[in-house]
Structures are given as structure tokens and as C-alpha cells.
Structure 1
Amino acid sequence: MAKIKILDILINKVDMVAAIEEVENLIQSDSSQHLVVTPNSEMVVMAQEDKVLKRIINEADLVVPDGVGLVLASKLMGEPLIERVTGIDLMVGLLELAAKRGYGVYFLGAKPGIIPQVKKRILAKYPELKIIGTHHGYLDDKSEKQVIEEINYLNPELLFVGMGVPLQEKWLDKNLDRLKVPISIGVGGSFDVLAGEKKRAPIWIQKLNLEWLYRLIQEPQRIYRILALPKFVYLVITREVLG
């Protein structure tokens, strides 16, 4: 599968359909554990300083461009990505796939009380979906061991982990060999959105590529994270475009 390198981060050149197809291929290919990562511009900037995160992304089996900044950067570099593939849209697409194929899924993440809301709302839309296990994302050593044992006992095909970046990626990297799960994917704050705790931008705002602004208005404390965007633009222009 073709890739493009943006600021030393390898991104797969996929659209949503191809990403879901690749996940299904990985599920059916063998018994290995596979990692899916969904970086945006902020995560790419973070990886410039965090070498562990950079390694995790570049070693992942599938890396989709969750951020319009990556798509725009690829066009400036003359190697355009197909489209933005957001983590939450990929998650919903994979849940739909799981419902059709009979795959078991496990939800791990968010604060206590969120996942039951997600489960209720998701099952209302996909009643045939097999959500075979859930747990909140606040783990100590004892509960982490218990969760991993439970996941392996339940044997899901898909594990969704929402602990925020880079904690979820590092948690999965540390435990991937212990998890007998074909596909593990970090989904950030998707559980909060799917639970109805946070609102996603309307479609028309998403199409204008202003979802980041909508989230900033909802969560003003994100301003420090949003500052990664101009840094990303500067790094792309100076390193990738001007060379």
C-alpha cells in the first residue's frame, strides 16, 4: 500500500473505503496483532519531539490521515493524499463492518460512565453488533492486567482504545504482544462524541475544514493544542516544500 512521508511520518495513501478494506484484510490475514494509528497535524508535530511516538506511528500497520492539514501538506509536496480519514469516522465504519461480519469488539477508554452510554447508543443503531466487553480508561497495574486477561479471554477482532494521544498509542505499543487481538486502534475522544457528551461539528463545517475551530469554541482550553497547527505549517513549508 502506497505511503507518503510528511515530516518523517509515514502516512498511507488511502480513502475511507480502502482503509476499512485494509483492516478487514488484516483481520483475515493471520493471527498477528496489528496496530492502526490516526495521526493529525498536532500528532505529527508532537512526534517531532517524541521519538517513541514517531517510532510507533511509523511501525503501525495502517496510518490514516486524520487531519486536513496532512492532506493540504501532501498537495503542497506534490504527493496528494486521497482524502481525510478521521478516526471517529473510521471507528464508525469499522463498527458497521463488525456488525455485518459478526466481529466482536471491545471498548477501552474514557472516564467511568461514558462507555455504557456509547454501548447503548451504538447498539440502538447496530443492534446486531457484538460488543463483547468494555472498560473505562483509568487503569492501574492491577486493573491493566485484569483488562488484558479479559480481552484475551473474550477474543475480540477489534479493540478500540480511547485514552488520548500519545497515551493510547504508547499503551498499545507496550501491550500489543500481550493482546490476542487482530486489530487495535487508538480513537482519542471518539467515545465522548459517540456517548453524546461532546458534539461534533455539523457536516457543513467539516466540509469547510473548520472542525478544529468548532472544537476550539466548544473547548477553549484546546488553544494550546491548536497552536501546533501553525508550527506544522511552518515545518512543512521549511522542510518539505522549500527543502
Structure 2
Amino acid sequence: MTDYVEILGIRINKYNMQEAVNFIDSLIQDGKKGLVVTPNSEMIVTARKDGELARILNRADLSVPDGAGVVLASRILRNPVPERVAGFDLMQETLALAGKKGYSVYLLGAEPGIVELASEKIKERYPGIKISGTHHGFLAEGAEELILAELNKLKPDILYVGMGVPRQEKFLDKHLKEMDVKLAMTVGGSFDVLAGKVRRAPLWMQRSGLEWLYRLIQEPQRIGRMMALPVFLLLVIKQYLKERFS
């Protein structure tokens, strides 16, 4: 049995939350510019059509199952992951780790003003945490070079990038080798949640695999994106049948 499950061509590590945090800690200590990604069902469907995104996801040092759909898919394929490791929760755990071990962090992404507010909320939640800097994700021409210069000056241990899929993954694939950071993690819309711009589903809905429904109620315009879930499950069933009977 491997330590990952391959779902529609994308490898997902079979770690629970604590194992993922421990592995991230080891990546930071190694200082080899580790990359952590958090695929959900929508991202995996997107990666089927975007070979560059698929390649980036499969080259990551850690890929966790961010979504009930991915957990269900692993069970359908008879190679189950231990549990859902939601990207937002993993970010919180790594922030706690950073506060405990003195790791410095940098926040890159979201709208102007939002990432700064997220930074303040993080400082309230994790007293003593070292936030090296912040920058929004709306980068004008030439801004990427300025960001790289700032990161190489500040040398944060952890870089969180929340620019949306696939922009955040492609940004890191292009620039991570030039950055003086020990670990980078894609965090999607986590800054919006931290800042209070977007509310997260109640815990019972998260545990029931219904967070997608809560987000749809909050943001009805997401209905088109939500159609990726049934497509994803149909493709997973097709993969299972092909693997079993081929």
C-alpha cells in the first residue's frame, strides 16, 4: 500500500492532520523550499484540463485532501485517506506550530486591506507569532519582482499564498526557486475567512461534508463551480471500474 491515493491522475497523501503538520515541520527544518497544496474535487477536475496545474500538484511535497469529495473518492477507489485535512484548518495548525516554534510567516494574497486584516486576526489568535509581512494578491506589472525582493530580504520560514486556483499554484511554480523561504503553502480564500469577509460553515456541516452547501447558500454565484462535484464523482466511479475490470 502506497502512502498516497491517485485520484484522476492527482496524487493525494494519506496523512491525517497531525501527520501533515509533523511533515510540514520537517520540511521547514530541512529548509528545502517545500510546497504544500490542498486539492479539492473542483481543483482535480480543473487539473484534468490543465496539464500544467496537474504537474504542479503532483510535484508538491505534500498534497492533502481538502474536501469531502476527495475523501469520498478515496473510499470509492478502495484506498482511503485517514480523514479530511481541510486547507483552512491545516493553515491554522501550521500557524499554531509557527507560534510555538518561533517560525516567521508571510501572507500573500486576497484583496488590498483584507490580508492586513487577516494578519491582525492571526496576531490576536496566536500571540507572539512572527508575521514578517503581508501583500495583497492583485499584483500590477512589475510587482512580482518587488515581492520577490521583499521575501528575500525578510526570509520568512512559511509563505502562505492565497490567490485562487490555479494562479497561486502557477505563481509558486514559477517563483518558489527564487524565494528565500523554507516552505510555501497555497491557502485559497483563507485570508477572506480569517478577515471575516467570508463566514465558514458551522462545524456540524463541515463534519457532515456539507460545507459546499453552506458556501453555495452564501454565494449563489458559485452554482456553476459546484457542478464540478457530480462530474468529479462520475469520473472517479469510471476510474474505479476501469481499474477493477481492466
* Fold shared by both chains (TM-score > 0.5): yes
Q: SS at 2:23's partner residue?
A: helix
Measured after TM superposition, the shift of residue 141 of structure 1 is 3.3
* TM-score, L = length of structure 1: 0.97
Q: How many angstroms apart in 2 are the aligned matches of 1:71 and 1:44?
A: 13
Measured after TM superposition, the shift of residue 242 of structure 1 is 4.6
Spell out the pairing of 1:61-80 with structure 2 (5 A cutoff): 61-80=61-80
Task: Identify which range, 128-137 or 117-126, moves more after superposition.
Answer: 117-126
Measured after TM superposition, the shift of residue 241 of structure 1 is 3.5
Instruction: Report whether the alignment pairs 1:184 with 2:181.
Output: no
* 1:202 aligned residue: 202
* 1:22 aligned residue: 23
* 1:152 aligned residue: 152
- Answer yes or no: is the 8 Å Cα contact 1:68–1:84 preserved in 2: yes
Deviations 1:135-167 (A, max 9, x none): 000112321111111011101110000000110
Q: How many angstroms apart in 1 are the aligned matches of 2:141 and 2:158?
A: 23
Q: Could you list the runs of 4 or more consecutive aligned residues of structure 1 that deviate by over 6 angstroms after TM superposition?
A: none
Q: SS at 1:198's partner residue?
A: coil
* TM-score, L = length of structure 2: 0.96
Runs (5+) with no aligned partner, structure 2:
none
Deviations 1:34-65 (A, max 9, x none): 11000000000000010000000000000000
Q: SS at 1:27's partner residue?
A: helix
Aligned residues: 242
Q: How many angstroms apart in 1 are the aligned matches of 2:125 and 2:43?
A: 31
* 2:91 aligned residue: 91
Spell out the pairing of 1:1-243 with structure 2 (5 A cutoff): 2-29=3-30, 31-243=31-243
- Answer yes or no: is the 8 Å Cα contact 1:76–1:241 preserved in 2: no
Runs (5+) with no aligned partner, structure 1:
none
Q: SS at 2:142's partner residue?
A: helix
Q: How many angstroms apart in 2 are the aligned matches of 1:242 and 1:209?
A: 27
Q: How many angstroms apart in 2 are the aligned matches of 1:210 and 1:189?
A: 18
Aligned Cα root-mean-square deviation (Å): 1.0
Q: How many angstroms apart in 2 are the aligned matches of 1:120 and 1:79?
A: 40
Q: SS at 2:133's partner residue?
A: strand
